[in-house]
Structure 1
Amino acid sequence: MPCDALYIHVPFCERKCPYCDFYSVAAEDAAMDAYTGAVIRALNSIPFAIVRLDTVYFGGGTPSILGGRRLAALLEAAEKQFGIAPNAEITAECNPHSTLKDTLTQMRSAGFNRISLGMQSAVDAQLHSLGRLHTVSDVASAVHSAQDCGFKHLSLDLMLATPGQIPADIDEAVRLFDRLGVEHVSAYLLKIEEGTPFARQNIAESCPDEDGQVLLYRHAVCALEQANYRQYEISNFARGGRVARHNLKYWNCAEYLGIGPSAHSFITGRRRFFPRDLAGFLSAENPWTLLCDDGAGGSPEEYLMLRLRLNEGIRWTDFTSRYPDFEINGLYEKAEPMRGAGLLKLDDTGLRLTVDGFLLSNAVISELI
């Protein structure tokens, strides 16, 4: 299928969180101005065929730290270059704070229609231990500000298995989601990445053990579904069908273009990426000369790995249509013991993981492929 999805990586943060391994640097006006110009240069010289955009996603880092003016300029440049479909999903990640409203107002006027807020916890003490700069009250203020500005599609992040977390903390977060009228939640387990401050501090010793992680994940799935947030992916839940359309493109193994230092792409059948180097990105006359090839993408194994993150899993009709030469009998044989163990569901329509299968998804998928 033609590429109709754009990802722009904004590598700036007010302060890097101690668990974060994403590429980001300190936010300075001169660097953010230069970055905005570099992305616009890249947009104006893309060497790939892109059709009218169906989704645009600004991730980071903290995209909202650019401010409404710069974000609007980037979105305008993308629209001039490709066009944006009338019903396109246009998302930006934001950190919740009480002074966000002016930026949100400018973003909404520019055409942004979806906001993803990095809440992480509904307990102030846990936010502090995670190195977050906001409070639960700031989250509520940010949501109300977004709603007042006309944003109807809001997503909040919830981190699971953090130091000191108990099931009651998750219940408090779900009550907050419901009270605020948020329709999408991303709930994911804390992962201690090598090289981060949390790794150096050995924070894992203060986190729930493996059994505790299982309990908290299952509790989150149950609590969210009881509040009518339907699980549609390992870590994502939505009410009223408000799924993240851009992220679904990743999980459906569809092509997308990424721009910015550390941004990844899947386009013309190849996986590609920009180096984690802001200075190099800013100084390049043609940013596309920096793009690195990471090999072929879209294999049957990759499709399986990505689709099995979704609640609906693999549909045999779609899979055999996409990969007519792939022998699926071997999949049945590998899947049968795991069905008996309650890790997946297997029938004539397809293959999908259970909640317990999601908890062991890496091992299950590795065995299948």
Structure 2
Amino acid sequence: MSEKLRLYIHIPFCKSKCAYCDFFSGKADEKAYDEYVMQLKDKIEYWSKRTDKTLSSVYFGGGTPSVLGDNRLCEVLEFIKQKFSVDNNAEITVEVNPESGKSLDFEKLYKCGFNRISVGMQSSDEKELKLLGRIHSTDDVRQTIYNAKNEGISNISLDLMLGIPCQTEQSLKSLIDFCAELGVTHISSYILKIEEGTPFYINRNKYDFADDDKQAEMYLYAVDYLNRLGYKQYEISNFAKSGFESKHNTGYWKLDEYIGIGPSAHSFFEGKRFFYERDMQSFNDNVITVDGTGGDEEEFIMLSLRLAQGLDFDEYKKRFGREIPESLIKTADKYIKAGLMKRNGNRIFFTPKGFLVSNAVISKLI
């Protein structure tokens, strides 16, 4: 088991709900924010008593963590530092919506320990933003990133979305150019999924959603263009300048242990997977649902193949004490011949085209 421990803090609040969002989040007032901070501190203390491992990364996600404001965010982070041992080089990220982010005190955030922000931009086209239900503008994005950089936070990630209705290759190129011109170090690029229960799902007949072929075309274009701009793909949906890969998220895919705190937050700790329900009262009562064991061979193979570096046979043997099954190698050979995978010595990995069908391929491999 890895000695690294990661901590995820879920902030279940947003000023408005986006048309595609299926995350556990909703509107709340200042009093609810304060009460939630108290509950977070209670659970942070609870979990800190169950391990003496050092945190190698902390990630505040949501929802919209930035709606809490810099004072509350720093209050929670400082409490984490009091209760846990935190590595001096820990990556500490907070997700920021540009609408609330433009008014954050990034100097305060930087001084209390936040050294990375992830900005939920999705698009740089005002019409696409409106369609998605985003409440920020492209100027808000510029201002947020300028403010963060000006106060010392230079490790910045931007989210962008592929397959938005009305999105064209030209608008996607403009979106990627916009990211590059802002000088961000990391880009997460997600294909729009229509989740049941979301406004997009309820009104799905009103929109001209990109079909699978169009989504694939957009994805492959994005992978190629981002690569040409120096953003190397290191995971299905993630691209980074050299040395700026997300340490926290990479930890998930490498089976590092992590504790998730907040309603809907998942954990992998001491060989078990468990989570808090999507319910505030259950979280307040610290009700934890066990989801079984984790970290077995199948999970290792599946998660390794999410990464561009792929599945390392030697690492598999070191972890599980046996060779990669011959049947897996034979099956992989078929996909290598089809151009969906590649092999480099004792390592197999997906091509960009293969990533598009990775779930189906992995199910055949394991």
Quote the residue 1:160 is aligned against: 162
Distance 1:153 1:348 in 2: 33
Aligned residue runs from structure 1 range 50-129, under 5 A: 50-97=52-99, 100-129=102-131
236 and 210 in structure 1: CA distance in 2 versus 1, 3 angstrom threshold: same
Quote the residue 1:346 is aligned against: 343
Quote the residue 1:227 is aligned against: 229
Distance 1:276 1:34 in 2: 17
Partner of residue 183 from structure 2, selected from 174, 181, 184: 181
Quote the residue 2:327 is aligned against: 330
Quote the residue 2:5 is aligned against: 4
Question: Please, which runs of 5 or more residues in structure 1 have no aligned partner?
Answer: none
Distance 2:183 2:305 in 1: 29
Residue 26 of structure 1: SS of its match in structure 2?
coil
Q: Which amino acid aligns with 1:247?
A: N
Deviation of 1:100 after TM superposition, in Å, equals 2.5
Distance 1:325 1:222 in 2: 37
Q: Give CA deviations for 1:36-60 in whole Å, capped at 9, x if unaligned.
A: 0011011112253141211000000
Is the 1:27–1:65 contact (alpha carbons within 8 Å) kept by the matching residues of 2? no
Q: Which moved more, 1:101-110 or 1:268-277?
A: 101-110
Is the 1:32–1:66 contact (alpha carbons within 8 Å) kept by the matching residues of 2? yes
Quote the residue 2:354 is aligned against: 357
Deviation of 1:350 after TM superposition, in Å, equals 1.1
Distance 1:326 1:74 in 2: 44
Is the 1:237–1:243 contact (alpha carbons within 8 Å) kept by the matching residues of 2? yes
Distance 1:147 1:327 in 2: 45
Distance 2:296 2:242 in 1: 32
Distance 1:248 1:160 in 2: 22
Deviation of 1:105 after TM superposition, in Å, equals 3.0
Is the 1:192–1:198 contact (alpha carbons within 8 Å) kept by the matching residues of 2? yes
Deviation of 1:85 after TM superposition, in Å, equals 1.3
Deviation of 1:203 after TM superposition, in Å, equals 5.6
Residue 164 of structure 2: SS of its match in structure 1?
coil
98 and 78 in structure 1: CA distance in 2 versus 1, 3 angstrom threshold: closer
Quote the residue 1:28 is aligned against: 29
Deviation of 1:170 after TM superposition, in Å, equals 1.5
Quote the residue 1:314 is aligned against: 311
Q: Give CA deviations for 1:159-195 in whole Å, capped at 9, x if unaligned.
A: 0011011111111112111211111000010011111
Distance 1:42 1:186 in 2: 29
Distance 2:230 2:127 in 1: 28
Quote the residue 2:20 is aligned against: 19
Distance 1:148 1:98 in 2: 17
Distance 2:207 2:100 in 1: 33
Deviation of 1:342 after TM superposition, in Å, equals 0.7
Asked if residue 137 in structure 1 is aligned to residue 134 in structure 2, the reply is: no
Q: Which amino acid aligns with 1:43?
A: I
Distance 1:201 1:253 in 2: 38
Q: Which amino acid aligns with 1:136?
A: T
234 and 37 in structure 1: CA distance in 2 versus 1, 3 angstrom threshold: same
Is the 1:10–1:62 contact (alpha carbons within 8 Å) kept by the matching residues of 2? yes
Is the 2:313–2:324 contact (alpha carbons within 8 Å) kept by the matching residues of 1? no
Deviation of 1:348 after TM superposition, in Å, equals 3.1
Query: Identity over aligned residues, as a percent?
Result: 43
Distance 1:203 1:148 in 2: 45
TM-score, normalisation: structure 2: 0.96
126 and 50 in structure 1: CA distance in 2 versus 1, 3 angstrom threshold: farther
244 and 180 in structure 1: CA distance in 2 versus 1, 3 angstrom threshold: same
Distance 2:109 2:153 in 1: 10
Residue 139 of structure 2: SS of its match in structure 1?
helix
Residue 55 of structure 2: SS of its match in structure 1?
strand
Q: Which amino acid aligns with 2:268?
A: F
Deviation of 1:130 after TM superposition, in Å, equals 0.3
Q: Which amino acid aligns with 1:37?
A: M
Quote the residue 2:288 is aligned against: 291
Quote the residue 1:169 is aligned against: 171
Residue 79 of structure 2: SS of its match in structure 1?
helix
Asked if residue 237 in structure 1 is aligned to residue 239 in structure 2, the reply is: yes
Deviation of 1:3 after TM superposition, in Å, equals 4.5
Distance 2:276 2:100 in 1: 33
Aligned residue runs from structure 1 range 271-282, under 5 A: 271-282=273-284
Q: Which amino acid aligns with 1:328?
A: P
Q: Which moved more, 1:224-233 or 1:98-107?
A: 98-107
Aligned residues: 364
Q: Which amino acid aligns with 2:159?
A: D
Q: Which amino acid aligns with 1:31?
A: A
Deviation of 1:98 after TM superposition, in Å, equals 7.0
Partner of residue 297 from structure 2, selected from 300, 321, 333: 300
Residue 16 of structure 1: SS of its match in structure 2?
coil
Residue 213 of structure 1: SS of its match in structure 2?
helix
Distance 2:100 2:46 in 1: 38
Distance 2:251 2:101 in 1: 32
Distance 1:265 1:351 in 2: 28
